[in-house]
Amino acid sequence: RNENAVASTRSDSTLPVQTSESRRAVAGALDKKMPPFPLPVLAAVLLLCLATPHAAGNPLDPPATPTPTPTPWPHQFHAKLLMDYKGNLSLADLWYDWPGGRNLHVIRYQLAADAPYYDAEWNNGTSFFY
């Protein structure tokens, strides 16, 4: 087999001729190692990237939205709660009075014929259960 022969026998072929000399040249080029990148240049580029102000923002970032403000908690309210404590279902009414410093829980057990359970609490830590 002739090493200088064209890879294709067609006359309009644009494939390059590959010889053993060109293979050795490519292999020799791949064996050469790149010189190490200078450390001071790398450090300077890193510091430049860190020192660049980002306050201008990226044009691809979404526009800034204002910080939402929460709805104020009501000073007095009534809530109904359905509670399940280890299979014991109960319905609780909660009346809360922030300015008065007190709240009242009325707990009714679903499967018990007992009277409701009352829990009156004050902000000073006093609680009455009846």
pLDDT digits (tens, 9 = 90+) for 15-45: 555 566 666 666 665 566 656 667 777 777 7
Q: What is the dihedral of CA 53, 54, 55, 58, to 10 degrees?
A: 140
Q: With 80 as the cut, is the pLDDT of residue 105 above it? A: yes
What pLDDT, in 10s, does the model give residues 1-16?
444 444 444 444 555 5
What pLDDT is stored for residue 5 in this prediction?
47
Q: With 60 as the cut, is the pLDDT of residue 110 above it? A: yes
Q: Which of 56, 102, 111, 103 is nearest to 84 (CA)?
A: 111
- The average pLDDT across 63-75 equals 86
The pTM of the full predicted model, rounded to 2 decimals, is 0.44
What pLDDT is stored for residue 33 in this prediction?
64
- The average pLDDT across 62-91 equals 88
Averaged confidence pLDDT in the chain:
76
Q: Where are the domains of the chain?
A: 84-124
Per the model's pLDDT, the better-predicted residue between 45 and 54 turns out to be: 45
Give 3-state DSSP helix, strand, coil % of the chain, rounded to 5: 20, 30, 50
The residues, any chain, with a CB within 8 Å of residue 95's CB and separated by 6 or more, are: 76, 77, 78, 103, 104, 106
For 59: left if phi > 0, alpha if psi spans -120 to 50, otherwise beta; the answer is alpha
Q: Are 112 and 129 contacting, i.e. CB atoms less than 8 angstroms apart?
A: no
What pLDDT is stored for residue 48 in this prediction?
72
